[in-house]
Structure 1
Amino acid sequence: MAGNSRRRGAIRKTGTKKGAVAGSGGQRRRGLEGKGPTPRASMRPGHPAQRRATAQAKAAQRRSKDKPTSELVAGRNPVVECLRADVPATALYVQLGVDADDRVTEAVRLAADRGISVLEVAKPELDRLTGGALHQGLSLQMPPFEYAHPDDLLEAAAETAEPPLLVALDGVTDPRNLGAVIRSAAAFGANGVLLPQRRSAGVTAVAWRTSAGTAAKLPVALATNLTRTLRQYAEAGLMIVGLDADGSVDVDGLSLATSPLVVVVGSEGRGLSRLVRETCDETVSIPMAAGVESLNASVAAGVVLAEVARRRRAAGRT
């Protein structure tokens, strides 16, 4: 057979022998060896558990992308106002060679006094950091706001001798309104502010600045589902009162003011959502002169919270 010669000096050609011609040559024994432990269902391609695991991993990745990141405030006046309001900040970016007027000088001084890093960067780099916004050579970096859990508001209320007073916002998307509500809530003795996770303004630099720094003193919580959280508060013994132009009572007849209370403020345009309105024990309106448009959310919240505080003071004197 070619390549299989027994002649002296003959060389067997590589690759010409096709295998054992008699017996298994050990192939059967190797074929019976195990291939290792069976992989988990979530690691087997095409298995339903593997598809579920892949979907969960993608959802987790999307959630990580949705997490708040640091915010940059651009412009000389906004930066100085944030620093004056003690807005938390991690870095102040100053453009190299910028014309140092009074605002730039004050911003650098305030940042240095608070231990905030002052970094000089070239204009192209500052343009990139601010996304092309009009920065005027100044930008302030803020860390993401740390929200409380809705249960934390109840715990904060339990630590005081007064009946709990919470403020919830339903669809308020203007950060200036949010900041003003936080400021009024702190002024009139509320224990915290509750925001829905979706379709709501967040505690940004604008909201923080409008709150005049009270966002650092009053817990602000996020609710995954506002209606469900309000129902949980109701089960905990709190009365739910919603501000509504067609309320069942006006603010003068708010007898629930001295009870454990949640005041719900709706958006300026559509007011309270249907499910939130149905959750309320009572809706309250604010009497106004004829021909006057409705108040915005922050002013309406301030009026009702002031009345609640007045009634509670009066009850404490009796």
Structure 2
Amino acid sequence: MAAAPPPLERAFGITNIKTRVPFLLDADEADYDAWRELFLTHWQSFDVSGHLDGTLLPANDDDAAWKKRDGLVKLWIYGTLAKDLFKSTVKTGGTSREVWLRLENFFHDNKEARAVQLDHKLRTQEIGDLSIHAYCQELKSIADLMANVDAPVSERTLVTYLPNGLNEKYDNIINVIKHRQPFPTLEQARSMLILEEERLGKPKKVPSHKDESSSSPKGYPMWPQQQFNPWKQMPLSPHPQPGLLGSRPQQQMLVQGTHNNNSNQPQPTMDFASAFNTMTLIDPTDSQWYMDSGATAHLSNTAGSSNTEDSSPQ
């Protein structure tokens, strides 16, 4: 079985550095620290990090093997730079360490101004359309960038900034986070917010409306409901005749109104006749009034005596 090649020789087997560092370093994205961490891990695994920190020097000016490896490291760096950043850092000749230091100075210049800018972004970051997980990750990324420019943010301060960019629908859980003892960590606050996000995302239950026909016994149809209209006018006699006491009050008002004004006016209705027409045994169109001279003096709309036992005239 053949022995494994030395690490320095294995480095030349990397034909596409983007499979190890899966994004381009851009001056506007502020992802230098993530790019740097990936590169250092990759170089250490192939024992070529000495080309960057200056510990691996050429044996002499004609050390071809060292120049070959150093050129490979330079290709790795240039292959992961965005076009604009590549133009700002490339120079003819030079070593991989010189390129590395130019990039480091480019991103670490004006640390104070950058720290102020990042602190403002951390305070004013809003959730927008992001999920709770993505929003918390964005705040943590900003805090990591501030640590890289010597302006670290404590976890308690980060949790304090967390509610600033949330929507009003999270007000209840925000109050719980602020008053919880002991004060929650970032992971605990994020878990509480994620649970609240899931609760708010559930569809609300809509009360079901039962059909009216479902209340009727099975197999028995419901009678159609009829709405009683008390203002429905019953037909009056075309030629009302006055009784013993005269015309009914409604008819009297109708006659007077007809004599005084021939115009159409609201007609009084016979409310009780309309309401109880199914319970009446007499003709509802009979407009006469009759005197009941029985023992109880009251008016009745039936002719004759109210005493059925005595047939003598009263």
Category of TM-score, reference length = shorter chain? under 0.3
> Of the two structures, which has the highest relative contact order with CA contacts closer than 8 Å and spacing of 6 or more?
1
| TM, length-normalised to structure 1 | 0.27
**Larger C-alpha radius of gyration, 1 or 2?**
2
Instruction: Choose between structure 1 and 2: higher strand proportion.
Output: 1
Instruction: Choose between structure 1 and 2: higher helix proportion.
Output: 2
